[in-house]
Structure 1
Amino acid sequence: MNLSDHSKSIHENIRQLKESVNKLGEVIHDCETCAAIKQAKRVKPLWYGGRWSKYKYGEAWQIDYITLPQTRQGKRYVLTMVEATTGWLETYPVPHATARNTILGLEKQVLWRHGTAERIESDNGTHFKNSLINTWAREHGIEWVYHIPYHAPAAGKVERHNVVV
């Protein structure tokens, strides 16, 4: 390969790289998740400046599942539930992260101990986002809010507790 061919090859690769970067920019621009994250970064975090101040104790919760080593009783997952105004943590170990176990955990650890919540926030996992959960929340008058996917700050309270657990 002579110098002329080499230069043409390099310039062609640079041109293709620029085209790829431009296409990537278009994909990111059109992505709903990326747009939601960008919008969330523009405004102050949801918990900033008293996001939870309109709620009384026990009315707002953030929940998530974490995976731990399996116990002798066969429980491998823990439903973590954080009360939003105080940061109070409730946990409920289960063998499987399912909608049914989510409801059982919420009833035993939240509703029976702290009263009926007005708002529950969670990620978009299948154990949270399904018709069983939707029906249960509607029957109890609970607003169920799903976080922006792949945006950990939206679930800040529960994610901070998950690190400790």
Structure 2
Amino acid sequence: MEPVIHECETCAAIKQAKQLKPLWYGGRCLTQKYGEAWQINYITLPQTRQGKRYVLTMVEATTGWLETHPVPHATSRNTILGLEKQVLWRYGTPERTESDNGTHFRNNLIDTWAKDHGIEWEFHNAVSQTENYRLSTAFFKW
């Protein structure tokens, strides 16, 4: 039986496919090193007693690690504050940040802040499931 399996082209292809890992594998993006890229977005929740209604969610691209920062309003100032407190101070400055095209991400304040910190900010389509995969997967597994 072993010689038959060894010579089988289908079996060889399956074995080779199992050895190859996709770019997104087991909660890790294999094209970056730890801490190089974060994907961020806001989610809306019922308002808390402290008046916080939005949560800035930040997902590290290689591990899927989730950091959150509750805020009363989804603004660019709160975005910067959340990134500084939850990401920069804990993990260092990332090379890249990914987000949708929301006004709290796409404005002069964010552009200047990212440029001053040497962060490349990438925008993607909010409705694209493939682009938003890491963020939504990490949040719903949390």
1:62 to 34, 39, 42: 39
Q: CA RMSD in A?
A: 1.6
Find the aligned partners of 1:152 and 1:162 in 2 and give their Cα distance.
14
In structure 2, runs of 5+ residues without a counterpart are: 1-20
Report 1:96-135 matches (<5 A): 96-135=73-112
3-state DSSP of counterpart to 2:49: coil
Find the aligned partners of 1:137 and 1:95 in 2 and give their Cα distance.
23
Find the aligned partners of 1:95 and 1:159 in 2 and give their Cα distance.
21
- Work out which of the two has the higher radius of gyration on C-alpha atoms and give 1 or 2: 1
Find the aligned partners of 2:57 and 2:81 in 1 and give their Cα distance.
13
Letter in 1 for 2:105: F
Number of equivalenced pairs: 118
1:49 to 7, 14, 22: 22
- Structure 1 runs, 4 residues or longer, greater than 6 Å off: none
**TM-score (normalised: structure 2):** 0.77
Which structure shows the bigger proportion of residues in helix conformation? 1
**TM-score (normalised: structure 1):** 0.67
CA change 1:93–1:149 in 2 (3 A) is closer
CA change 1:120–1:68 in 2 (3 A) is same
Identity of aligned residues (%): 67
Report 1:135-150 matches (<5 A): 135-150=112-127
How far apart are 1:164 and its partner, in Å? 4.7
In structure 1, runs of 5+ residues without a counterpart are: 1-47
